[in-house]
Amino acid sequence: MIKRSKMLDNEDHLLENHPRELTQNPLKKIWMPHKNGHIAHRRVCMTNCPTLIVTVGLPARGKTYISKKLTRYLNWIGVPTKEFNVGDYRRECLKVYKSFEFFRPDNEEGVKIRRQCAMSALNDVRQYLSVEGGQVAVFDATNTTRERRETIMKFAEQNGFKVFFVESVCEDPEVIAQNIVQVKLGNPDYINCSSEEAILDFMERVKCYETSYQPLDEELDSDLSYIKIMDVGRRYLVNHVVDHIQSRIVYYLMNIHITPRSIYLCRHGESDHNIKGRIGGDSGLSSRGKEFAKCLRVFLQEQKIKDLKIWTSQMKRTIQTAECLGVPYEQWKSLNEIDAGECEEMMYEEIQEHFPLEFALRDQDKYRYRYPKGESYEDLVQRLEPVIMELERQENVLVICHQAVMRCLLAYFLDKTSHELPYLMCPLHTVLKLTPVAYGCKVESVYLGVESVNTHRERPENVNVQRSTEDALQTVPAHL
């Protein structure tokens, strides 16, 4: 150990006296140290160790809803996160669910199996956070006893994980009943039961937990990090937030709600640049684009959407589209199209001619590729986070935006990966209606009947930097 320590001290001494040369990573355009012509491994200083989020609460209190939304959000902002639902482990172990009797506290066999399933899930949490490179794991279970939570705390301490508890407390019988009907009736446990049988059994299951439920306590648990959500967000109690990830979690959970609503996404009407195959810029609408805007007005009038809010970017083509609607709208700079930097207002053919390396690098990793003096999709997601947060707070909203922006927003609501995001289909003159449902989003696509150019470019087969111009332009859509 002493020899190893001296070697590290010597290495640090050499690095202090001979700082490494820097080179710019061609994909992300960020500066990195290099040695002998090769990019060197960076010495990473991790401020935050992995985080284990632990849900707490009786059944039918929205724990899985919270877990899935939180996992989706954290993955979208670039924090590798995975959900571990102990109920899934129990179903895998038991195969066939018989009745609530399994959950009775005096059912020794049931208690034993549930404990084994919880430990199996925690072992997978360890694998994910310690070996697979995950940063956050969501342990979705009731965790209603102080004994179970202490077991989880010991497990986390042994493995070097921080723990953040998320407790959902709900006393509103209407909300509980609605949750049981919407979510639990679709639960695999009740696949062969009538609705009445399922509800009766599930209510008995809840009673099995109520007798031993020990909520997080302000005095007894004052040293724990947690948020307590009461009656689906009417009140919150936040305690001992210790790092950036936990503060992001708290901020997000304090913005989500379950009020029924729909979010409408569409691009601006076809623009003059769209017709010419030019990316970016700030051109106005084509004649067909103006026709779409008129059709959009009719569509919204027919929908009769209550208290609809309309958001646009600060670019001419989205504002022109909104102006035709004859209603107030709000401009967001955050909704501006991805900045193509030195490639702004160029055709793909021109980018291939003048910047063939850049064109190939973008095809290799479209999500992380950053235009010279411009942005990447990864940058765009960070820029759009305030928009997502406000969308979560709002009810009915129409967002008139751009292709790359719409892809990022759609990826959040549909839980798409960073690999899928840059290739999501977002055609012109089409409205997407997103309606949140139990654990996801229902999507309806409405084409408003006005022709337009196709601006969608698929990833070509050949992404090698030495490829031919023909291969590079293989999937470029037709234009003037």
Contacts of 37 by beta carbon, 8 Å cutoff, 6+ apart: none
Partners of residue 82 on adjacent β-strands = 137
Catalytic residue at 170?
yes
Q: Is 282 a catalytic residue?
A: no
Q: How far apart are CA 19 and CA 13, in angstroms?
A: 10
41 is catalytic: no
CB 86 within 8 A of CB 103: no
Would you state the torsion angle of the CA atoms of residues 376, 377, 382, 386, taken in this order, to the nearest 10 degrees?
A: 130
Closest CA to 434 of 260, 265, 308: 265
Cβ atoms of 325 and 300 closer than 8 Å: yes
Q: How far, in whole angstroms, is CA 36 from its chain's centroid? A: 39
Q: Is the dihedral of CA 104, 109, 112, 114 positive or negative?
A: negative
Of 167, 221, 268, 402, which residue is the catalytic one?
268
Active-site choice (170, 208, 343, 401)? 170
Q: Which of 477, 330, 302 is nearest to 401 (CA)?
A: 330
Angle, in degrees to the nearest 10, between helices 86-94 and 108-130: 120
379 is catalytic: no
- Which string of b and e fits 135-147 if b means at least 16 CB within 10 Å? bbbbbbbbbbeee
Taking CA atoms, 49 is separated from 133, 138, 139, in Å, by 11, 15, 17
Catalytic residue among 337, 339, 358, 378: 337
Quickly list DSSP for 370-397. --TTS--HHHHHHHHHHHHHHHHH-SSE
Q: Would you please indicate which residues are annotated as catalytic (active-site) residues?
A: 140, 170, 268, 337
